[in-house]
Structure 1
Amino acid sequence: MSAELKPVEDQVMVVTGASSGIGLTTARMAADRGAKVVLAARSEDALRELTEEIRRSGGDATYVVADVSDREDVRRIAAEAVDTYGGFDTWVNVAGTFLYGKLEDTPVEDMREQFDTNVWGLLYGSLEAADHLKERGGAIINIGSVASDEAIPLQGSYSASKHAVKGFTDALRMELENEDAPVSVTLVKPASIDTPYADHAKNYMEQDATLPPPLYAPETVARAILDAAERPQRDVYVGGGAKGMAALGHYASRLMDKMMASAFVPLQRRDEPPHAHGPNNLDAPTGDLEERGDYDRHVSETSAYTAASQRGSLTKALLAGAGVGAAALAVYARYRSRRGRSKGSGTGHSETERRHSVGEIPQQSR
């Protein structure tokens, strides 16, 4: 049985991690489109403010203060949706925690806590949603990452959690299909997104953390999520950069390993010591209604690849993905060449100069 999904304006939508970044942008966009939204996060002040904002704009929203790593909290989210709106049509699992650092420098206890949110929290939400939607029909949308396919150095624990998210989401989809349940299960895999990700991350590096290019606006993810809420889709890569990295990792895995080790390590470190941006979201709630981050790189406001792939234009999508992959290879080759010349001449380039060099990727991939 295929899932028959309602237009967004006729839906009740649950969004976890709704107090910042992708979750916040998605909640606002869904409410603007006419959906009734159930907002969940740990930050009560932010949730109350967001709910009032949506209501003032003529929307309909309610909220639940919840830590998704606690299954009883997740059950309370579902109960609020049932009590307030009679149920829900789409459940979007966005909540996540972030860690930077070499694996050997990162306490295992922090990795376990990250898995409690990124994996177990998403698992609890998906199972709660599946139980509800088997009779009603609807969509489960899980936020993975390009790191679901391609591990990223200095974010090894996060990458492992997103690999687990992919495995769980794929298995859940197959089991629901086996039951002929009218439920669409989508895994959304964004590239680097311009959110407060690096500011909210717990950092075990000696330098300040940042995101590697190319960067895309959080609206690109929100649009992809709402599209999947209306039309059943299996996987959605947000940004041609995400698809290009996944394709390169699949077809040229050793080359991708080398590129990641050489280029993506410096691209995630800024030339300054770590500085406090406030609490990290592993240890405490950090949501304060911030959609965007503070990055000194180009941010693409749209993704031609994602739009083409979601509309079924396979040829255009493949060309866009291939273009990004070629651009990444060209920039990597330039990076290696400049690094070699630097070593040979004895005059090195600074970290900032290397970052700006590789940061040309977004310009070439637009």
Structure 2
Amino acid sequence: MNVSLKPIQEQVIVITGASSGIGLATARAAARKGAKVVLASENKEELAKIVQQIQNEGGQAIYVVADVGRQEDMQQIATKAIERFGRFDTWVNNAGVSIYGRLEEVTEADNRRLFDTNFWGVVSGSLVAAKHLKKRGGAIINLGSELSDLSIPLQGMYSASKHAVKGFTDALRMELEEDEAPVSVTLIKPAGINTPYPEHAKNYTDQELTLPPPVYEPEEVANAILYAATHPKRDIYVGGASKLMSTLNKVVPGVVDWVNQNFMTEMQLKDKPARHKEGGLHKPGKGGKVHGTYEGHTQKSLYTRATINPVISGVVLAAASAAAIALIGSNRSKHGNGQYTRRKSV
């Protein structure tokens, strides 16, 4: 069934995890383009500030304090959106958190909380959105990761949750298509993004956390999300590195495993003592910031821009992939002698 999506300026867009990072970047970008936005997170103070900022700039926005791990909270988001704007047209399941720690060290309680947010939040949000959108049409956009297609050490349960998000999203898409529902379902797969993600993660190590390169700007993900809100797409990779690693994992999985097991742990740790141990796993993380504190080079995604703008030539795609490979290789050399001190308890 052909799905017809409205222009951004005619849409009401719901965004979870909207008080920082990708969610905040998307909310601001959507509001500037004329969309009415419904922001949801657990951080009431920051949400109120963000909504006021959007309104001061002439935009229309409301916020809903919600824990995405609670199904009733997700229903409340939909109810508030309909009460205020009469409908919603796009629902973005963005909220997420991570844990940096070896699988045998992380507690079951922490793992379950991670899945409540990363997986069950997506499930509840998608089903609430689908019930509304099946009657009128629209888009459901779920945030996966390059780790929806492969896994890395130290973030094993996060990788598992993003695999689960992919499986659920694909099944939901098929069932809606089977019902001939006028709903687009898109999975966004970002590479490493310079948001406060490491600071919001729970940290089982003794070292400060970081992201493995290459790392992209959060505005690149926001652009991809807003593109998916107006153009039915199955998947969008944000960052040539995301597409590259996904493809390599399908073609030469053993090689990807070898690279990750030999280099990926130290590439996620700084040579500094840990400061942010608890993060935002069990309580709201510090909000209000789109960008994180990544100390290396960050970049725009030529690959993603080419994906959503076919006019850009294949030469640009090749250049983006080559740049991603070069960055990964240089960082391996830099961190080849890194040390990882394991903690036995938190």
TM-score normalised by the chain length of structure 2: 0.93
Gaps of 5+ in 2: 341-346
Q: Would the aligned equivalents of 1:263 and 1:335 in 2 still touch at CA under 8 Å?
A: no
How many residues are matched? Answer: 339
Q: Which residue of 2 aligns with 1:358?
A: none
Structure 1 residue 280: Cα displacement: 1.4
CA distance in 1, matches of 2:319, 2:109: 40
Residue matched to 1:291: 290
- Is the alpha carbon distance of 1:327 and 1:67 closer, same or farther for their aligned partners in structure 2, counting shifts above 3 Å? same
Q: How does 1:261-276 map to 2 (within 5 A)?
A: 261-276=261-276
Partner of 1:131: 131
Shift of 1:323: 2.5
TM-score by length of 1: 0.88
1:52 aligns with 2:52: yes
1:350 deviates by: 5.6
Question: CA–CA distance in 1 between the matches of 2:316 and 2:153?
Answer: 27
If you compute each CA radius of gyration, which structure gives the higher value, 1 or 2?
A: 1
Match of 1:222 in 2: 222
Taking a change above 3 Å as real, the CA distance of residues 316 and 227 of structure 1, as seen in their structure-2 partners, is: farther
CA distance in 1, matches of 2:133, 2:182: 7
SS state at 1:104 partner? coil
Cα distance, 1:208 vs. partner?
1.5
Q: Write out aligned runs for 1:317-332 (5 A).
A: 319-320=318-319, 322-324=321-323, 326-327=325-326, 330-331=329-330
Q: Deviations over 1:187-233 (max 9, x none)?
A: 00000000001111100012121111110000000000001101110
CA 1:45–1:327: 2 relative to 1, 3 Å: same
Gaps spanning 5+ residues in structure 1: where?
340-348, 353-366
Residue 29 of structure 1 and its aligned partner are, at CA, apart by 0.5
Compared CA separation, residues 296 and 351, structure 1 to 2 (3 A): farther
Runs of 4+ in 1 over 3 A off after TM superposition: 312-318, 324-332, 349-352
8 Å contact 2:214–2:327 — kept in the other structure? no
Letter in 1 for 2:130: A
User: Structure 1 pair 317/252, CA: closer, same or farther in 2 (3 Å)?
Assistant: farther
CA deviations 1:164-203 (Å, max 9, x no partner) are: 0000000000111111111000000000000001111100
The amino acid across from 2:149 in the alignment is D
Could you report, residue by residue, the CA deviation over 1:78-98 in whole angstroms, capped at 9, with x for unpaired residues? 001110111100000000121
For 1:187-226, what aligned pairs fall within 5 Å after superposition? 187-226=187-226
Question: Would the alpha carbon gap of residues 168 and 223 (structure 1) be closer, same or farther in structure 2, given more than 3 Å must change?
Answer: same
- 2:94 maps to 94
User: C-alpha separation between the residues in 2 aligned to 1:11 and 1:139?
Assistant: 10
Give the corresponding residue for 1:310.
308
The 2-side partners of 1:129 and 1:316 are apart by 39
Q: 2:343 maps to what in 1? A: none
Partner of 1:172 in structure 2? Answer: 172
What amino acid sits opposite 1:291 in the alignment? Answer: V
Q: 1:136: Cα distance to partner?
A: 0.8
Contact 1:245–1:325, Cα closer than 8 Å, also in 2: no
What is the aligned partner in structure 1 of residue 105 from structure 2? 105
Percentage of identical aligned residues:
50
Please give the alpha-carbon distance, in whole angstroms, between the structure 2 residues aligned to 1:84 and 1:117.
Answer: 26
CA drift at 1:351: 5.9
- Do structure 1's residue 39 and structure 2's residue 39 form an aligned pair? yes
Q: Which residue of structure 2 aligns with residue 234 of structure 1?
A: 234
Give the whole-Å Cα distance in 2 for the aligned partners of 1:137 and 1:316: 37
User: Which residue type is aligned with residue 133 of structure 2?
Assistant: L
> Deviation digits for residues 30-73 of structure 1, max 9, x if unmatched?
00110000010001111111111110100000111000111110
* Structure 1 residue 319: Cα displacement: 2.7
Compare the two structures and name the one with the higher helix fraction. Answer: 1
Distance 1:90 1:205 in 2: 38
In the TM superposition, residue 249 of structure 1 has moved relative to its aligned partner by 1.1
The SS at the match of 1:25 is: helix
Counterpart secondary structure, 1:208? strand
Q: CA deviation at 1:325?
A: 6.2
Aligned equivalents of 1:103, 1:24: Cα separation in 2: 30
Distance 1:52 1:13 in 2: 17
Structure 1 residue 248: deviation in Å?
1.3
CA shift for structure 1 position 262: 1.2
8 Å CA contact 2:213, 2:327 repeated in 1: no
Provide the C-alpha distance between the structure 2 equivalents of 1:327 and 1:287, rounded to a whole number of angstroms. 34
